Amino acid sequence: MFREKDFLKATLKPLITKNISIQRYPLWIDLQIFHFKNLVIMFYNKDNTALFITKSAGMLFFSAALMIVLHSCDKNEDPVPPEKKPTIQLAASTILGEYLVDTLGHTLYYFSNDYNGESNCAGGCLNLWPPYYAGAQLDQAALGTGLDIADFGTITTPGGPQTTYKSWPLHYYAPASGGTNVRENPGQTLGEGFNNVWYVAKPDYSIMLVNAQLVGHDGKNYKSDYTEGDGKTLYFSNAMGVTLYTFIKDSANNNNFTASDFGNNGVWPIYETDVVVVPSTLDKTLFGSIDVFGKKQLTYKGWPLYYFGQDNMERGLNKGVSFPAPGIWPVPVKDMAAAPTP
């Protein structure tokens, strides 16, 4: 056995054709290859003392494997645990911005018909849009950067539990392929805008689309033209599904309702934001904001946007469509006419 590697290398130097030194703490390897095809593999510990030598090329793989075993068994070095990916995290694209994905990168979606916070996807819908469930142990540590556990919940459906985000049930997209529904690949967002009611779940929407029956404060059902009758209307809500309204007496970028002291703001509260993050089927350039006595109010096509106080900020309610009479405070919809010039 050799006690010093420098002595050994100096002695054998005339015979060396190639020298390779590899450091892998706490061991070092020197591979000495000679003219007559002998191979010397020397293992050294961290105080530079030779541990053992092999002298045949056939011992190369055995010796290399032994080095790995010795390295992995070293008691002075803590093992590095494998990186654990978040259960739910954020992905990003240049078109959609940030959106929610599962631990493998599969996109998560919301359904405009889930206006009331319940899953209204059933039957064949579930084949195309399977529910997502993160598990019963979801906590802050299981979330990626930028997500808050307070925004997540769980609902019970006929098919089992389903995870919600900001009270919206979360779904996968699994289009049919060869007669079988197959979940789209990680990184794909092919379900975005599907039938104008399916959208990627985003952390920063300021506008979302709700598809629901209009039911006034008088308990009557209304159609999109504010005549009595049944039929869903696709309209705007905030990120939590709370209904937004416009006022027919307003004009382009002018709030003609709110008092300067905000004394009537409890009846029709302004939608106080200037952030514009909307589903991809909406033109974000048609949104803006105005100043209302020192507060920012979001607008669409010049129409200032409001809540209705009697909805109590509860998702799915749209009582304001009949207050004080049908059509005075209509819900905003994509194809509505622009606000008139004052």
Do residues 216 and 278 lie in contact, with contact meaning Cβ atoms separated by under 8 Å?
A: no
- Burial pattern 191-204, b for ≥16 Cβ within 10 A else e, equals bbbbeebbbbbbbe
CA distance 273 to 206: 8
Q: Which helix (H) or strand (E) holds 211?
A: strand 208-215
β partners of residue 101: 89, 107
79 belongs to a structural domain: no
78 belongs to a structural domain: no
- The confidence score (pLDDT) of residue 83 equals 73
Residues 98 and 178 in one domain: yes
158 belongs to a structural domain: yes
164 belongs to a structural domain: yes
Residues 244 and 116 in one domain: no
Cβ-count burial of 34 within 10 angstroms (0-12 exposed, 13-18 middle, 19+ buried)?
middle
- DSSP state string for 91-142: EEETTTEEEEEETT--B-EEETT-TTSS----THHHHHS-B----TT--GGG
293's CB contacts (< 8 A; 6+ apart) are 258, 260, 262
Residues 323 and 248 in one domain: yes
162 φ/ψ angles, rounded to the nearest 5 degrees: -145, 135
- The confidence score (pLDDT) of residue 29 equals 41
Q: Identify which of 207, 277, 289, 204 has the alpha carbon closest to the alpha carbon of residue 241.
A: 207
Could you tell me the residue range of the domain that residue 68 belongs to?
5-73
- The confidence score (pLDDT) of residue 4 equals 47
Residues 15-40: tens digit of each pLDDT: 444 444 444 434 344 444 333 344 44
Domain termination residue (choose one: 14, 48, 73):
73
Residues 198-225: tens digit of each pLDDT: 999 999 999 999 999 999 999 999 999 9
Q: Identify which of 223, 196, 227 has the alpha carbon closest to the alpha carbon of residue 212.
A: 223
| CA distance from start to end of the chain | 98
DSSP alpha helix (H) spans, 109-247: 124-128
Residues 310 and 214 in one domain: yes
CA distance 303 to 338: 7
- The confidence score (pLDDT) of residue 44 equals 41
Residues 110 and 32 in one domain: no
Q: Look at the chain and report how many structural domains it folds into.
A: 3
- The confidence score (pLDDT) of residue 78 equals 64
Residues 214 and 318 in one domain: yes
Show the low-confidence residues of the chain (pLDDT under 70). Answer: 1-82
Residues 221 and 247 in one domain: yes
- The confidence score (pLDDT) of residue 92 equals 97
279 belongs to a structural domain: yes
Residues 166 and 270 in one domain: no
Residues 188 and 288 in one domain: no
- For tokens 């593999």, what's the residue? 41
81 belongs to a structural domain: no
Put simply, whether the predicted model's pTM sits higher than 0.85 gets the answer no
For residue 68, CA distances in Å to 40, 74, 83, 218, 320 come to 18, 10, 21, 77, 72
328 φ/ψ angles, rounded to the nearest 5 degrees: -75, -40
- The confidence score (pLDDT) of residue 76 equals 54
Count CB atoms within 10 A of the CB of residue 27.
Answer: 18
24 belongs to a structural domain: yes
10 φ/ψ angles, rounded to the nearest 5 degrees: -70, -40
82 belongs to a structural domain: no
Residues 332 and 289 in one domain: yes
Do residues 294 and 226 lie in contact, with contact meaning Cβ atoms separated by under 8 Å?
A: no
